Amino acid sequence: MKSTRQKSRTKRSAIKLEGQLLIAMPAMSDRRFQRSVIYVCAHSPEGAMGLIINQRANHISAPDLLERLGISARNPDDEITSDVLSLSIQVGGPVETGRGFVLHSSDYFSEDSTLAIEQGVCLTATIDILKAIAQGRGPTRAVLALGYAGWSPGQLETEIQSNGWLHCPADPDLIFDEDLENKYSRALGKMGIDLSHLVSDAGHA
C-alpha cells in the first residue's frame, strides 16, 4: 500500500501541463518571472520546458537577429518579407538566452525539427523556420523567443503546489497576440480572475 507522501507525489506528477499556460502569482519572488505568462511546450517526469509569451526583448530587433544568424535582411537582392522584419523578438526565459525558439501555427511543419504540441501550436528551434519566414514560406502566426524556461523533475509541480503558478488551458489567440502588455491580465481573465482581487495565498484556508 502506498504511503500518503507517495500518493501525493503520484497525484502531482499526473497533472498534465503540456500545452497549458502558466500564470505567475503576484507574490512570485523570482524577478525574471514576475507577471509572466508561460506556454508549456513539454512536460514529463523528466521535467518541463516552456516559453514566456509576454516579455519583449528590447535589446535586439528582427533584422539584427537575422544578420547575426547569417540571413541578410539589408541586401536588396534577398527576398526578405516585411512580416519578418517587423517580427517582435521576445524573452522566452533565462536558459540558453542566445538560442532562438519559434512558437508557431501548424501550417509550417518540418518532420525533422518541429514539435507538435496542442491545438495546432508547434515549436521549431532551427534556423530553417526563420529562413522560411524571411522568404514568405513560414507559418501565418509565430512568436520568436530567445531562451526558455526550464524545470527539473518535479520542480514545476512543487512550485504550483506552493502557489507560485496558476495554470489553465492555452488559447492560440492569446499566445500569438502582439499586445504583450495585456497578456497577463487577459490570461487571468480566462480563469475568471480579476487581478485586483487576486491574493498571494490563494488556495490556503
Is the four-CA dihedral 33, 34, 40, 46 of positive or negative sign? positive
Please measure the distance between the N-terminal and C-terminal CA atoms of the chain and give it in whole angstroms.
29
For the chain, list residues with pLDDT below 50.
1-13, 76-77, 200-205
Block residue for cell numbers 524571411 = 134
pLDDT for the residue 83: 62
Q: What is the DSSP string of 42-80?
A: EEETTEEEEEESS-B-TT--HHHHHHHTT--SS-TTS--
What is the spatial distance between Cα 176 and Cα 205, in angstroms, rounded to a whole number?
36
Return the SS3 of 201: coil
pLDDT for the residue 98: 87
Q: What is the DSSP string of 113-146?
A: TEEEEETTEEEE-SHHHHHHHHTT-S-SSEEEEE
Q: Would you say 104 and 138 are in contact if contact means Cβ atoms under 8 Å apart?
A: yes
pLDDT for the residue 27: 84
pLDDT for the residue 13: 47
pLDDT for the residue 8: 41
pLDDT for the residue 205: 35
pLDDT for the residue 72: 62
Question: Model pTM?
Answer: 0.84
Query: Any bridge partners for residue 105, and if so which?
Result: 121
pLDDT for the residue 131: 83
- Number of C-alpha atoms within 13 angstroms, CB side, residue 95? 11
pLDDT for the residue 164: 93
